């Protein structure tokens, strides 16, 4: 089945009964929602959504849709991952059209792979709808290219938060310090001091430019530029709180020239990541 063409000039699919769409909602700005994600919103019977999905995006769903809040915000009440997967299976087996709506991209530090494997094990058909990940969009909205010909030919995306809540032991911070010209850290604020110590110990320049980006792409976006050595203290002084990204590398210096958002009218930036809570 497909949705009407409307004004886009081509047909879009819609969720079939008993199917689950694992869908990225992007980093916050509803304008970054993909057309497939919008088609899922308008066809879903049930939406199981994370805390970072804005109310503006949820308002694009059908008026009679069932909203189930999954949480998934550090330090906040959330369903456990196995419970979320079980809820997806349960709703699909009831013949519902299920939209699993996740901030950013489901397969970029979003645990979408775990949910997809649970659906495979339960013989539930699913579709993956990629979303714009914060590690790309956040720096872009801060005027920072993650790659630039004169600065770097590689970028490394790293999570600063393991499943146990610690700095990931599986990450070779010394190797990253030596080989990654630009580093984008997700979920690193809790352990930022320790991570920067490890990078400096691995040979990273303590004076290397760093950008801290909180609430990326939303009306509340906040950007602080600092140094690797000083970024942990800067985060405290400027009250940078999750969700936040850390960008490390020479491309941060381009922000002075490329901060396009600086002159954008406030009326065009009117979304906040405040998921509505509903009983599960």
Distance CA 237, CA 230 (A): 11
Number of H helices and E strands in the chain, helices first, is 9, 12
| Residues marked as catalytic | 50, 72, 187
CA-to-CA dists, residue 29 to 91, 103, 130, 171, 174, angstroms: 28, 11, 15, 30, 35
User: What is the 8-class DSSP label of residue 32?
Assistant: G
CA-to-CA dists, residue 261 to 37, 47, 142, 241, angstroms: 25, 32, 7, 21
Q: Which spans in the chain are helix H? A: 35-43, 55-58, 81-93, 112-121, 134-141, 173-179, 192-201, 231-237, 255-258
How many degrees, rounded to 5, is the angle at CA 246 between CA 136 and CA 254?
65
Distance CA 266, CA 260 (A): 13
Going edge to edge, which strands form the sheet with 244-248? Answer: 156-159, 183-186, 244-248, 209-214, 222-227
């970072």: which residue's tokens?
52
Retrieve residue 10's tokens: 């081509």
């Amino acid at each position: 089945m497909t949705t009407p063409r409307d004004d886009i000039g081509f047909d879009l699919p819609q969720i079939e009964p008993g199917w689950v769409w694992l869908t990225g909602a992007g980093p916050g700005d509803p304008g970054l929602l993909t057309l497939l994600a919008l088609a899922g919103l308008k066809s879903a019977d049930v939406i199981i959504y994370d805390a970072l999905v804005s109310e503006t995006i949820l308002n694009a769903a059908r008026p009679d849709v069932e909203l189930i809040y999954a949480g998934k915000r550090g330090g906040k009440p959330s369903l456990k991952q196995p419970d979320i997967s079980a809820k997806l299976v349960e709703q699909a087996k009831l013949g519902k059209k299920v939209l699993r709506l996740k901030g950013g991209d489901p397969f970029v530090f979003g645990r979408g792979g775990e949910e997809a494997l649970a659906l495979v094990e339960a013989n539930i058909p699913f579709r993956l709808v990629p979303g714009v990940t914060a590690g790309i969009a956040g720096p872009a909205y801060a005027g920072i290219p993650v790659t630039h010909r004169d600065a770097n030919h590689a970028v490394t995306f790293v999570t600063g938060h393991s499943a146990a809540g610690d700095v990931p032991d599986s990450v070779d911070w010394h190797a990253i310090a030596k080989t990654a010209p630009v580093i984008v850290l997700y979920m690193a604020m809790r352990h930022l001091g320790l991570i920067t110590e490890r990078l400096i110990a691995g040979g990273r320049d303590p004076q290397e430019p760093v950008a801290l980006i909180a609430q990326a792409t939303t009306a509340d976006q906040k950007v602080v530029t600092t140094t690797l050595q000083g970024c942990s203290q800067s985060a405290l002084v400027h009250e940078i709180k999750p969700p936040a990204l850390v960008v490390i590398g020479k491309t941060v210096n381009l922000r002075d020239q490329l901060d396009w958002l600086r002159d954008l009218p406030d009326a065009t930036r009117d979304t906040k990541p405040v998921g509505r809570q509903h009983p599960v």
